[in-house]
Chain A
Amino acid sequence: MWGRLSLDALPHDMITIGGVIGGGLALLAGIAALTYFKKWRWLWTNWLTSLDPKKIGVMYLVVATIMLLRGLADAGMLRAQQAVFAAGDGGPISPDLFQQVFSAHGTIMIFFVAMGALFGIVNLIVPLHIGSRDVAFPLLNSISFWLFVAGMVLINLALAVGEFSTAGWLAYPPLSELQYSPGTGVDYWIWSLQIAGIGSLLSGINFLVTIFTMRRPGMSFMKMPIFVWSVVGCMALVVFAFPILTATLSMLSLDRTIGTHFFTSDMGGNPMMYINLIWAWGHPEVYILILPAFGVFSEIVPVFSKKRLFGYTSMVLALMAITFLSFTVWLHHFFTMGAGANVNAFFGIMTMVIAIPTGVKVFNWIFTMYRGRVKFATPMLWFMGFVVTFTIGGLTGVLMAVPGIDFQVHNSLFLVAHFHNMIIGGVIFGFFAALTYWWPKFTGFRLHEGLGKAAFWCWLIGFLLAFLPLYALGFMGAARRLDSYDASLGWQGLFIVAGVGLLIILLGVFFQVVQVGYSIWKRRELAVGADPWDGRTLEWSTSTPIAEYNFASLTPVIYRDEFWEQKHRSDVKKPVELIEPIRVPKNTGVGAGIGLLAVIVGFGVIWHIWWLALAALLGSIVIVIVATLKEDTERIIGVDEIVATEKKLRGVKV
């Protein structure tokens, strides 16, 4: 009746138990607070059932931040093991636990932190950037968010019930097959990603349609903010790459449940096929992560240099080139699998070719600063840190693109240092820059600058200390994912330095947490208007807080950087605002319902409780059918209400 679920599934080792208790207490504290302040109804009606992309965006960011803390905790355990215990024998973290921790660390950071931050910012900013009120399919947007949450719930549930995968963040077979991983770990990994992945795919479709069809009249493609272009590239990659992930995870799951032989060692299975498929998704995935970060910096540098972005057309071409090329390089993740010299050389060369448009972007950003007036507020500091770290990462990337070199450093700590360079230096720094840049738009006050700067320096120095030694260790022959090594190798010193680096990063995180708390406390002193940075794009033309409908009227756009032109050109005509009733989607619990059922489906399949999984699946289908047939899904904001809101929020008479 309950499949393979039993009391054995509860955690046995102290560290996991500690993690579960800690997480559980935090959850209980949240529940207690909501109950005490009687905020359940508020949470449900104002946030969880909202189809407003601004709200959905904030929720993505909250989840991503919580997952960042979990990912960093995992990182802490890895560093602690490698710096303190690995040179000896043992320590409190067993090899099995260590392997679960690094598998969880990678999976969480990529799928729930980076993707979450990405979708959060895209939801918040893209509709505003194109001057629209919403995304193309608001209900689908909510469903995507809740599928993301469902995946997050499953991966955290693995802590408390069962175990997690020990096969790394990509679960290569045959290790991830039943023969070598008979437990529930890999299944948790599969279903967490499968569910979240479908959410991402739906969002990819949603945002592409939004950008293609809902731009303001007059906003041609070449007048869009560059951030929107970066999102176009990103979502195009999502749409083409995520179905590969869906198919591949399904096939691995079939191997593990009904006995197919796609990737098994025997009966004709071919693990190499999995590796090709998973990286055909996996490489575009890392570009999915980085392109919006590029877009964020393309917004920040012009604003903080008080100068137009240098080479807009070049930037667009570079983005599209990177998007296209990212599908032609996947084999560089397994040069050592023996494809032969011709194939290896081809993919190596294509990998290097991507460095060209990427380099062009870096030059264009730097030349935006040239003869500008650069203000080194926190967002701009993050940009500087990004260029430094990302360039180092790019250099090591070009090194590894040469198959001959990769043959030595593949799967070593050199590789680990490289990709952290790109993801932390690029994606995470971009995320923090975006946060500090757009925070005042949505809240009405700035984040405290001093604390922001302190956080930045801690992150930058901490990052360099944590990862530069790993390059050296890679060259010294240290493989990745090691829970122990011989003390006589002399590696421990470098691991200790890396551990210190992580501690400094954690100090930076501490500063960020304090920054947010302190800024909220001192929000009156830190209050700013609706356009604190003298912005260039349409989001800064709204009030703060932003009206639910974003813009009272959808007046045509004439220029790139329309808002800047409206502010600073003397010859521009202010368009006449035409106020009409606005339809906004009603709140609905469909998304949350589907999220809950998705968790149950995943849990059912993982534990072989087939009736439960089937029932939940049928339930989701029924909900979807009912939702698509519902007629009364919108409410109307009348002209009077709009006029009153505009008077109240913007102090203007429309």
Chain B
Amino acid sequence: MSKPRLLEQKFLDYKTSTGFWLYLMTDCVLFASLFATYIVLHPATAGGPTSGEIFSLPMALTETIILLTSSFTCGLALLALRQNNLKQLVIWLAVTYVLGVSFLTIELSEFAALVGDGHSWQQSAFLSGFFTLVGTHGFHIFIGLLWLLVMVAVLFKKGITLKVKRQLGLFGLFWHFLDLVWVFIFTVVYLMGVAS
């Protein structure tokens, strides 16, 4: 590739990642608002269950391990990308995807169980806060998985292009960010919820 084009692409990478970091900061503020609301509304159980009564630490720990592992496999995928190894890249992306789907499955089953027992978001402010905070994170994971599918489809169609490289880099940032938010959720919602 010609030098001007290379510089152009580098600049595009720089602009895009700067913009994406800023977007992640805004997402951070969004989650912060939801966390703040959750914490304030945590005691408002309106005669319904408290956090200690409904959260299962083993399940939350399982979710955490799954998600952390998926962050690791995502990292492996990006390493493969660096080495232009398409096969490894797709494999590790696939593993990440499977782990992400497992995470969502467990989370949705937790939600379904709660709703089935009559403890939906309609029962109290505490439950509203819980479902919305954890649900928003889950929705972000869902969008991430959708993104992942599209990326894999593009990889199959076009192989590793500069554009795909850039977009996968952003995906990695997104996925690690969601992992970080999950660590906070695990701590504030589940760990502290069971302890209180």
Binding site for B on A (CB under 8 A): 136-137, 201, 204-206, 208-209, 212-214, 239-244, 246-248, 250-251, 254-255, 258-262, 264, 266-270, 273, 277, 280, 580, 621, 625, 628-629, 631
Contacts of B4 in A (CB 8 A): 580
CB–CB A261/B26 < 8 A = no
CB–CB A244/B29 < 8 A = yes
CB–CB A260/B46 < 8 A = no
Q: Which 10 A-B pairs give the minimum distances between C-beta atoms?
A: A268-B44, A268-B125, A260-B128, A247-B33, A243-B29, A243-B30, A259-B122, A268-B46, A267-B46, A209-B19
Contacts of A212 in B (CB 8 A): 18
Additional A-B contacts beyond A254-B128, A258-B121 (18; CB < 8 A): A137-B19, A205-B22, A209-B15, A213-B14, A239-B25, A247-B33, A254-B121, A260-B132, A261-B44, A261-B46, A261-B125, A262-B37, A262-B41, A264-B125, A267-B125, A268-B126, A270-B41, A280-B33
Quote the shortest CB–CB distance from B7 to chain A (angstroms). Answer: 12
Which of A240, A267, A621 is packed against the most chain B CB atoms within 10 Å?
A267
CB–CB A267/B123 < 8 A = yes
CB–CB A205/B128 < 8 A = no
CB–CB A268/B26 < 8 A = no
Complex CA distance for A487 and B139, rounded to whole angstroms? 56
CB–CB B132/A261 < 8 A = no
Q: Does B108 contact A (CB under 8 A)?
A: no
Residue of A nearest to B28 (CB): A243
Quote the shortest CB–CB distance from B118 to chain A (angstroms). Answer: 13
CB–CB B37/A208 < 8 A = no
The listed residue (A136, A246, A273) touching B40 by CB distance below 8 A is A273
Residue of A nearest to B40 (CB): A273
Residue of A nearest to B29 (CB): A243
Question: B residues 18-58 with Cβ under 8 Å of A?
Answer: 18-19, 22-23, 25-30, 33-34, 36-37, 40-41, 44-46
CB–CB B132/A136 < 8 A = no
Quote the shortest CB–CB distance from B166 to chain A (angstroms). Answer: 11
Complex CA distance for A262 and B122, rounded to whole angstroms? 10
Quote the shortest CB–CB distance from A408 to chain B (angstroms). Answer: 29
The listed residue (B15, B29, B30, B122) touching A136 by CB distance below 8 A is B15
Residue of B nearest to A212 (CB): B18
Contacts of B113 in A (CB 8 A): none
Contacts of B163 in A (CB 8 A): 631
| With known contacts A137-B19, A248-B33, A273–B41 Cβ distance under 8 A | yes
Quote the shortest CB–CB distance from A201 to chain B (angstroms). Answer: 6
Q: Does B124 contact A (CB under 8 A)?
A: yes
Contacts of A270 in B (CB 8 A): 40-41, 44, 125
The listed residue (B26, B128, B154) touching A629 by CB distance below 8 A is B154
Residue of B nearest to A281 (CB): B33
CB–CB A258/B122 < 8 A = yes
| B146-172 contact mask (Cβ, 8 Å, vs A): 1 or 0 | 100010001000000001000100000
Complex CA distance for A618 and B74, rounded to whole angstroms? 26
Q: Does B193 contact A (CB under 8 A)?
A: no
CB–CB B14/A260 < 8 A = no
Quote the shortest CB–CB distance from A233 to chain B (angstroms). Answer: 15
Quote the shortest CB–CB distance from A206 to chain B (angstroms). Answer: 7
Q: Does B75 contact A (CB under 8 A)?
A: no
Complex CA distance for A248 and B32, rounded to whole angstroms? 11
Residue of A nearest to B17 (CB): A209
Contacts of B186 in A (CB 8 A): none
Complex CA distance for A262 and B38, rounded to whole angstroms? 9
Contacts of A239 in B (CB 8 A): 22, 25-26, 29
The listed residue (A243, A244, A268, A277) touching B124 by CB distance below 8 A is A268
Complex CA distance for A243 and B26, rounded to whole angstroms? 6
| With known contacts A247-B34, A260-B131, A268-B44, A136–B124 Cβ distance under 8 A | no
Complex CA distance for A243 and B22, rounded to whole angstroms? 12
Contacts of A267 in B (CB 8 A): 44, 46, 122-125
CB–CB A213/B126 < 8 A = no
CB–CB A243/B121 < 8 A = no
Residue of B nearest to A629 (CB): B154
CB–CB A268/B45 < 8 A = yes
CB–CB A261/B124 < 8 A = yes
Q: Does B138 contact A (CB under 8 A)?
A: no
Q: Does B129 contact A (CB under 8 A)?
A: yes
Contacts of B126 in A (CB 8 A): 268
| With known contacts A209-B15, A270-B40, A277-B33, A243–B125 Cβ distance under 8 A | no
CB–CB A205/B23 < 8 A = yes
Complex CA distance for A280 and B154, rounded to whole angstroms? 41
Residue of A nearest to B122 (CB): A259
Complex CA distance for A625 and B129, rounded to whole angstroms? 31
Quote the shortest CB–CB distance from A286 to chain B (angstroms). Answer: 18
Residue of B nearest to A246 (CB): B30
Contacts of B150 in A (CB 8 A): 625, 629
Quote the shortest CB–CB distance from A289 to chain B (angstroms). Answer: 19
The listed residue (A244, A254, A260) touching B33 by CB distance below 8 A is A244
Quote the shortest CB–CB distance from A110 to chain B (angstroms). Answer: 20
Quote the shortest CB–CB distance from A178 to chain B (angstroms). Answer: 12
Contacts of A244 in B (CB 8 A): 29-30, 33
Contacts of A260 in B (CB 8 A): 121-122, 125, 128, 131-132
Which of A136, A208, A262, A580 is packed against the most chain B CB atoms within 10 Å?
A262
Contacts of A241 in B (CB 8 A): 29
CB–CB A208/B33 < 8 A = no
CB–CB A240/B41 < 8 A = no
Complex CA distance for A205 and B28, rounded to whole angstroms? 14
CB–CB B26/A242 < 8 A = yes
CB–CB A208/B45 < 8 A = no
Residue of B nearest to A266 (CB): B46
Quote the shortest CB–CB distance from B181 to chain A (angstroms). Answer: 13
Complex CA distance for A328 and B128, rounded to whole angstroms? 28
Complex CA distance for A201 and B27, rounded to whole angstroms? 11
Contacts of A213 in B (CB 8 A): 11, 14-15, 18
